[in-house]
Amino acid sequence: MKTEYAFTILAALFVVIAVVFLWRDNFSGAFVIGALGAVAWFLSYRFRLRAAFPVTDDVEEESTEDVSDEIHDQGEDDHPVAR
């Protein structure tokens, strides 16, 4: 819970700094700081979504095991591209 709030506060801080850069006619600095603010906001949103929809380890392990079993079950004769 703390991580998403930290990124939200950081995004707001970057917006304020970008406005100061715009006020001082430093457009390239405002763009860079604004982009960093957007990245911080998207990271806060990502952490909020991960907290809302937790992924269990069992589901993740099963999906990777199924794929690896399918790959190992296929022989060289089953490969669609002939060498």
User: Domains of the chain: which residue ranges?
Assistant: 2-74
Question: Could you tell me if residue 25 is left (phi over 0), alpha (psi between -120 and 50 degrees) or otherwise beta?
Answer: left
As a whole number of angstroms, the distance between CA 59 and CA 53 comes to 13
pLDDT digits (tens, 9 = 90+) for 20-43: 999 999 999 999 999 999 999 999
Mean pLDDT for the chain overall? 80
Phi, psi of 42 (to 5 degrees): -65, -35
Residue 63's pLDDT is 57
As a whole number of angstroms, the distance between CA 51 and CA 4 comes to 9
pTM: 0.60
pLDDT at 79 over 70: no
The tokens describing 31, both together, are 């763009």
